[in-house]
Amino acid sequence: MSTRPGAAQPAEAFPDGLLRLQHDWTRTYNRLAYRPAAGAAELRADLFALTVRIDSHPHWRTAGWSREGRTLLWKAAQEGPGGVREVSVRWVGGEFVVTEPERGSDE
């Protein structure tokens, strides 16, 4: 397994509980991205709580927390088994546009 910056790490490099938290974070982010008429405040609060749980997970005590580590977790949670991909939110023509993530050839 490579540890160079930007190198992909297999999902197995992270504990299942941490991957589940990242999956939950991405699902919550995706729901919020569609700008729900109701429940946005609760979704933002859920994102905050999930971020705290991810960043304070015991895994980081041994692996060492870093922005790179968080990015690798994010990638592993998208690309690993049961992966959840983040939607893309862009500002286009004076409004936010949400697009679904591209699906891989194996999906």
pLDDT digits (tens, 9 = 90+) for 83-106: 888 888 888 888 888 888 766 544
pLDDT digits (tens, 9 = 90+) for 25-63: 999 999 999 888 889 999 999 999 999 999 999 999 999
SS3 of 78, please? helix
The confidence score (pLDDT) of residue 2 equals 40
| 89 compared with 6, residue with greater pLDDT | 89
With CA atoms as reference, report the closest residue to 54 among 73, 75, 31.
73
The helix/strand count (H/E) of the chain reads as: 4, 2
